[in-house]
């Protein structure tokens, strides 16, 4: 059974000059200790280029992302360690629990904390984990009475929105559905969540419910772009091209103002296999806006693969791997690699 280092255990000296993963990792650790996180991230990625599944490298990069408050990215890396390491790195569960707690995902935090204690009851972080569980229990019993842990309405909305976005982008449909249901109940005026809810229902196999939901919406609001995009995709997937193709022709004459709608439209057009139009749309998106969107890389690459071949798709997909390591899982799930 493997455990990770504490920060105080990180070696201070660089060994003989070499250009292997440990060489770059050591420089990353030194930059991390100086709190030069940009340089540390660069060195850690260089180390991972040499040894992509090295658990120590991945764990330290996750700690860096935690420092940067990028908790989802940190947990992605920790999950990669759990999934790929031959021996269990039990400390990953403790770190994941803390990240989930920061995100306000208290049930997930407690589950990870309890897993850590089950795997290593006397581990290095036992005391911290016990304290974390006590805190989580208190929050989940009555967090509204704890002023320090209560979110105002705006904070709560942002947390829901960010968490739903993460699960949708990573195609984690069951998790997305749970968050979207809570988001809709708490903030019923936020209309995009309702279309994302219909899309998630469809992905989970509730095709009739999803289609009826959007058809009803479109009857009430014939100008709804979100409903038209979802129905174009839904009809195409169930083989009703007699219904999807007229909607697609309408969409091809629509040029949204907002970036999120521009991206969603490009993704939808790619999903229904109008690759040339999709590629044109993807290429018009501003490069500084797309980096946080896994769906951009996934579906742009899909359209390129169909239209130009695998090599062109790989360029886009490889560019995503540094910031979105879980793209590998999605590519395999779709059968594209």
Exposure string (b/e) for 296-334, b if CB count within 10 Å is 16 or more? bbbbbbbbbbbeeeeebbbebbeebbeebbbbeebbeee
Residue from 40, 54, 73 nearest 324 by CA: 73
3-state secondary structure of 322: coil
Q: Flag residues of the chain having pLDDT under 50.
A: 5-17, 144, 146-150
The CATH fold assigned to 187-334 is 1.25.40
* ∠ CA 197-258-243, rounded to 5°: 55
The pLDDT score that the predictor gives to residue 4 is 54
Which pair of tokens denotes residue 216?
């009803």
> pTM above the 0.75 mark?
no
Give the number of other Cβ atoms within 10 Å of residue 95's Cβ: 23
Domain coordinates in residue numbering, the chain: 7-149, 187-334
Q: Please report the pLDDT score of residue 19 as a whole number.
A: 65
pLDDT tens digits, 265-282: 999 999 999 999 999 999
89: helix, strand or coil: strand
**Residue range 7-149, CATH number:** 1.25.40.10
């Amino acid at each position: 059974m493997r455990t990770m280092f504490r920060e105080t255990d990180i070696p201070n000296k660089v060994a003989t000059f070499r250009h292997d993963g440990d060489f770059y990792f050591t420089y990353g650790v030194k930059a991390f200790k100086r709190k030069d996180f940009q340089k540390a991230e660069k060195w850690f990625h260089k180390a991972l280029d040499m040894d992509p599944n090295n658990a120590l490298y991945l764990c330290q990069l996750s700690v860096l992302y935690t420092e940067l408050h990028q908790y989802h990215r940190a947990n992605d890396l920790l999950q990669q360690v759990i999934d790929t390491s031959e021996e269990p790195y039990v400390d990953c569960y403790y770190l994941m629990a803390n990240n989930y707690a920061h995100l306000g995902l208290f049930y997930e935090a407690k589950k990870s904390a309890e897993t850590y204690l089950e795997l290593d009851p006397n581990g290095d972080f036992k005391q911290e984990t016990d304290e974390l569980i006590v805190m989580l229990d208190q929050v989940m019993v009555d967090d509204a009475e704890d002023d320090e842990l209560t979110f105002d309405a705006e904070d709560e909305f942002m947390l829901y929105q960010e968490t739903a976005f993460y699960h949708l982008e990573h195609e984690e449909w069951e998790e997305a559905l749970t968050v979207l249901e809570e988001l809709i109940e708490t903030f019923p005026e936020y209309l995009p969540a309702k279309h994302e809810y219909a899309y998630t229902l469809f992905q989970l196999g509730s095709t009739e419910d999803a289609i009826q939901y959007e058809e009803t919406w479109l009857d009430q609001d014939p100008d709804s772009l979100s409903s038209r995009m979802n129905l174009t995709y839904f009809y195409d997937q169930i083989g009703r091209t007699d219904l999807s193709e007229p909607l697609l022709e309408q969409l091809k004459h629509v040029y949204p103002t907002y970036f999120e709608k521009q991206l969603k439209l490009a993704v939808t057009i790619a999903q229904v296999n109008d690759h040339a139009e999709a590629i044109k749309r993807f290429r018009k998106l501003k490069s500084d806006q797309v980096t946080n969107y896994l769906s951009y890389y996934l579906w742009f690459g899909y359209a390129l693969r169909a239209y130009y071949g695998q090599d062109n798709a790989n360029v886009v997909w490889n560019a995503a791997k540094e910031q979105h390591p879980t793209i590998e899982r999605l590519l395999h799930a779709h059968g594209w690699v």
